Chains A and B, each alone.
Chain A
Amino acid sequence: MVKVPRIRANRYSLMTLEWPRESEPLAHWLKAQREKAPLLMDEIAIVLKPAPEHQPEEIRSAVEALDRLDIGLMGLTGSSQHRVVAHDLGLAWLSSNHGWIESQLSHETVASQSLETALIMEGPIRSGVQIYAKDRDLIVIGQVSQGAEIMADGHVHVYGRCRGRVAAGVGGQVSAEIFCLTFEPELVSLAGTYCGSDQIPEELWSARVRVGLDETSQKLTFGLMG
């Protein structure tokens, strides 16, 4: 059978890096983020959204800084005057209301994703061990040690003591949540919004906790589970 190339519509998760004008230097901020959560920034596709007031030169040097940090920049988005800058820098332009790919292709053929069940891991997940459940949920039976990193594109469940770094919705899935039987993490992150152990309300420490993301405030929400 002869195979022919074909164009299919697909949706990809891209993270948007919102960059306000009056913020600290981007390279500096990114370095700090990477130190806090090294893995969260690996293999992530990012779209940079400068503020309307940003000058082309500033955008150019920010793009170079991202490149030096090895962060995969897919293109620019934001107010339309930056479109030219994107073109000059050889980057894709993603108009804000439509994804770049979707704007070129019809919606009807969006491939339905096949369902994959959760990745189940037996704990303890030790310090230095990294686990990533791609395109699915992650369930850990047992403990997650301090210094371990567990991640999923879907939800993360820990049936045990959770002392490591936990990230759900790694590919930008804002509805992903984290569930822990004994909640003592170093860091939690949902779709890129994260908080360290020092920001976790004290009364939730060691409790049965569920973490979600409030999309409007872009803040993590913590709740006790019965």
Chain B
Amino acid sequence: MATVVTVTSGKGGVGKTTSSAAIAAGLAQAGHRTVVIDFDVGLRNLDLIMGVERRVVFDFVSVISGEATLNQALIQDKRLENLSILAASQTKDKDALTEAGVGQILDELAELGFEYIVCDSPAGIERGATMALHFADHAVIVTNPEVSSVRDSDRILGILQSKSKRAKEGGKVHEHLLITRYDPVRVENGEMLSKEDVCDILAVKLIGVIPESKAVLRASNTGVPVILDKDSDAGLAYSDSVARFLGEDRPMQFVIPRKQGLLSRILGGGD
């Protein structure tokens, strides 16, 4: 049985795709056969962040519509043998994502022996997002520490617990909170919500806090999931988050301002 992990947020641009790539790579590194699917039909982003954009021939929608087989569309990651990518199409219509079609592909992926299916959800509550939510066993709610993002996450949690397949069958989707773009200095200055504030509002178990980091942009420019950058704060924070997702207990890093934080900010160093 494969476990479907949907990465979602409601609000756009909070770090879902960055997190999907990192979580999928982290699960693969931990020895689990993992596939990451881009549900953002019409935009395409995940393939860039995974560094496979030149290798996309067939995509998720072409498999659903029967133009290609799943094996033709799956892209094997060159760094991690346990990791595959299923890209989204830039051109096709969102309506191609039917419940039956998506469900069948997830079943086939499970038959191929994947343990984890990570779904990168688009923003909003439209078709792509609801499809990604529908089949979720676990949901990673990505939130930035600001009010509108937190509110949208609360909204998505409501949809998850009423409209998902698990909810409709009387069960519950496992919820995990991932706070991204966290800046402890701005939190201290009262310009951002603290991780405690966010947890208090959402009442969901926190699996990680990813700091605002230049390493993220650097990673996406080079097409390497940031979790593979072991010298970066964001990479380490993602590694910790995946370990917590898998049940390990780890202390939170990068959640209090560094001593020399202010000076290094003025001098523009550090990341």
Hey, which bits of chain A sit against chain B, CB under 8 A?
A: 123-129, 142-143, 145-148
Contact = CB atoms under 8 A, between A and B. Distances in A.
B13 interface: no
A125 B202 CA distance: 10
8 contacts: A124-B202, A126-B159, A126-B161, A127-B154, A129-B158, A142-B203, A145-B201, A147-B154
B157 interface: yes
Interface string B136-159: 000000000000000100110111
A142 B159 CA distance: 17
Interface in B190-224: 201-203
Interface of B: 151, 154-155, 157-159, 161-162, 201-203
Contacts, number: 34
Contacts of B162: 129
B225 to A, nearest CB: 30
B99 to A, nearest CB: 22
B159 A128 contact: yes
Nearest to A163: B201
B203 A128 contact: no
Given A128-B158, A129-B158, 16 more contacts: A123-B203, A124-B154, A124-B157, A124-B202, A126-B154, A126-B155, A126-B158, A127-B151, A127-B155, A128-B159, A129-B162, A145-B154, A145-B158, A145-B201, A146-B151, A146-B154
B155 A147 contact: yes
Contacts of A125: 158
A115 B154 CA distance: 35
Interface centre among B151, B155, B158, B159 (most CB of A within 10 A): B158
A115 B105 CA distance: 49
A148 B203 contact: no
Contact of A143 (B155, B161, B203): B203
A5 B147 CA distance: 57
Nearest to B156: A126
A147 B203 CA distance: 15
Contacts of A146: 151, 154, 201
A143 B161 CA distance: 14
A128 to B, nearest CB: 5
Nearest to A146: B151
Contact of A148 (B158, B159, B201, B202): B158
Contact of A127 (B158, B161, B203): B158
A56 to B, nearest CB: 47
Nearest to A128: B155
B155 A124 contact: no
A145 B162 CA distance: 15
Which 3 pairs show the lowest CB-CB distances between chains A and B? A126-B158, A127-B154, A129-B158
Contacts of A142: 203
Contacts of B155: 126-128, 147
Nearest to B151: A127
B170 to A, nearest CB: 12
A130 to B, nearest CB: 10
Contacts of B157: 124, 126
B162 to A, nearest CB: 7
A39 B158 CA distance: 18
A126 B156 CA distance: 8
Contacts of A147: 151, 154-155
A112 B159 CA distance: 38
B151 A124 contact: no
A147 B147 CA distance: 12
Nearest to A130: B158
Contacts of B202: 124
A142 B201 CA distance: 12
B124 to A, nearest CB: 13
A25 to B, nearest CB: 33
A123 B154 CA distance: 12
B148 to A, nearest CB: 11
Interface centre among B151, B154, B155 (most CB of A within 10 A): B154
Contacts of A145: 154, 158, 201
Interface centre among A127, A143, A148 (most CB of B within 10 A): A127
B146 to A, nearest CB: 14
A146 B202 CA distance: 10
A124 B159 contact: no
